[in-house]
């Protein structure tokens, strides 16, 4: 899986979401971007939320708009039923990341290849019921959002008893300065500390073949 990069529709049929890069590229840290990893368990009728979600001030324009690129990768482990043919995946987990205003939430980072209306197209091209989903949005002109929220929700199949079922998930979010100049990494680190989030460094293991 190749987080933080776009893949066109033609090649996705053969490569999925891409091949992992080398270990040095994966562990690389750039000043103009920040990547956060979230792990948890999603369940029906219980939405996992992070509010407010910190956005580095350096990404805001003089008008207060957020000008940045957002990459989100969601991976989860759903319950599978081999007796349900192509409906073997029993749960669909989705990520919403966007504006929280006047008590309501509106996601602003769409899934790649999401502009479909019919169920068959959503499954084939929109990754519905897929345990790996990728979201992307580039706000070249900025977006006027003051309060950001991260939300995880669950959809189940008709006839499936979802009460009490917990689905493990991992979310990677990369926020990048479009011009690759702003101190996004340092500002996000300070914001996380100010918000008193419980954080831990990612441990990258490289196995040496003998």
Q: What is the 3-state secondary structure (H, E, C) of 93-145?
A: EEEEEEEEECCEEEECCCECCCCCCCHHHHHHHCCCCCCEEEEEEECCCCECC
Residue 27: both structure tokens together: 């562990």
Output the pLDDT for position 1.
47
pLDDT digits (tens, 9 = 90+) for 75-133: 998 777 666 666 667 778 889 999 999 989 999 999 876 544 444 444 444 467 788 88
Residue 188: both structure tokens together: 């996000």
Contact 187, 57 (CB under 8 A): yes
Output the pLDDT for position 165.
79
With a threshold of 0.85, does the pTM exceed it? no
pLDDT at 199 over 70: yes
CATH fold of 9-194 reads Jelly Rolls (2.60.120)
**Span between the terminal Cα atoms of the chain, in Å:** 25
pLDDT digits (tens, 9 = 90+) for 6-25: 555 555 554 556 666 776 77
Residue 95: both structure tokens together: 């990520």
Residue 36, CA atoms < 13 Å, CB-side half-sphere: 20
């Amino acid at each position: 899986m190749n987080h933080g990069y776009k893949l066109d529709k033609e090649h996705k049929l053969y490569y999925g979401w891409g091949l992992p890069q080398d270990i040095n590229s994966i562990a690389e840290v750039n000043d103009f971007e920040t990547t956060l990893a979230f792990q948890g368990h999603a369940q029906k009728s219980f939405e996992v939320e992070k509010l407010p979600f910190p956005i580095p001030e350096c990404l805001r324009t003089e008008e207060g708009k957020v000008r940045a690129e957002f990459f989100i990768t969601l991976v989860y482990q759903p319950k599978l039923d081999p007796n349900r043919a192509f409906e073997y995946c029993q749960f669909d987990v989705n990520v919403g990341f966007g504006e929280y205003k006047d008590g309501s939430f509106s996601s602003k980072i769409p899934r790649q290849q999401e502009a479909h209306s019919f169920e068959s197209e959503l499954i084939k091209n929109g990754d519905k019921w897929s345990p790996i989903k990728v979201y992307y949005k580039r706000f070249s002109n900025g977006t006027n959002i003051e309060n950001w929220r991260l939300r995880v929700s669950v959809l189940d199949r008709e006839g499936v008893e979802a009460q009490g079922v917990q689905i493990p998930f991992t979310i990677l979010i990369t926020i990048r300065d479009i011009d690759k100049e702003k101190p996004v990494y340092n500002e996000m680190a300070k914001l996380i500390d100010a918000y008193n989030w419980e954080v831990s460094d990612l441990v990258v293991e490289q196995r040496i073949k003998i």
